[in-house]
A = this chain, B = another copy of it.
Amino acid sequence: MDVRTICLGILTRGDATGYEIKKLFEDDGYEHFVEASFGSIYPALNRLTEEGYVSVREESQEKRPDRKVYSITPAGRTAFIASLLKPLPEDRHRSPFVFAMLFADLLPASRVSAMLDAYIQQAEEKLAHLNAHDSASKSSGERFVTGFGRTIYAATLEFLRTHRAEIEQEQAAQAAE
């Protein structure tokens, strides 16, 4: 899913600035599934404007920088929905952590434990973040996605806690050689 489509999607929920688009994603916990940086959002928004998929109005603010508030146009809405009707690209998961675990036997036991600790802590934080969100005032799609995220993180934590010993013990054996 490219940044263009992501921007259009968010704008179907209401007007927003480029800055807000980024914040919205982070606050709502969707950054677990889709990402975008400012360096890609701003150019995407400019291109969408040129193409007529969004419109802009500039707002001057006191004590704050000027902002450009974007609205999706009917053409943009149509294009967005069309993009969801096309076959979706497959998921991509890249996990340096999992890759590293593959080679646990080459690493010092302390490093493996540290990696596990860090990864577990991150998962806990992400889960807490998802739980912190009130499920009220959300569409069913949003509740579904939040629930999905919670399920994945919970399963991840459960697995890591019950199985970490299996690679940590291997380490102990190695070290004792």
A156 closest partner in B (C-beta): B152
DSSP class of A's interface residues: helix, strand, loop or mixed?
Answer: helix
In the complex, the answer to whether A145 meets B93 with C-beta atoms within 8 Å is no
Give chain B residues whose Cβ lies under 8 Å from the Cβ of A169.
140
A:70-111 near B, CB below 8 Å: 80-81, 84-85, 88-107, 111
How often does this chain occur in the complex, in copies?
A: 2
In the complex, the answer to whether A145 meets B98 with C-beta atoms within 8 Å is yes
Interface segment among A27-35, A45-53, A59-67: the answer is A27-35
> Chain A: residues with CB nearer than 8 A to chain B?
1, 5-6, 9, 12, 30, 32-35, 80-81, 84-85, 88-107, 111, 115, 122, 139-145, 147-148, 151-152, 154-156, 158-160, 163, 166-167, 169-170
Q: A81-B107, A91-B93 are in contact. Are A159 and B170 (CB under 8 A)?
A: no
In the complex, the answer to whether A105 meets B148 with C-beta atoms within 8 Å is no
Chain B min CB distance to A89 (Å): 5
Give chain B residues whose Cβ lies under 8 Å from the Cβ of A154.
155
A98 closest partner in B (C-beta): B33
In the complex, the answer to whether B166 meets A35 with C-beta atoms within 8 Å is no
- Can you pick out 22 interface pairs between chain A and chain B where the beta carbons lie within 8 Å of each other? A1-B96, A1-B99, A9-B102, A30-B102, A34-B98, A35-B92, A80-B106, A81-B106, A89-B96, A90-B96, A101-B141, A102-B139, A104-B139, A104-B140, A140-B170, A143-B166, A148-B159, A151-B155, A151-B156, A151-B159, A152-B152, A154-B155
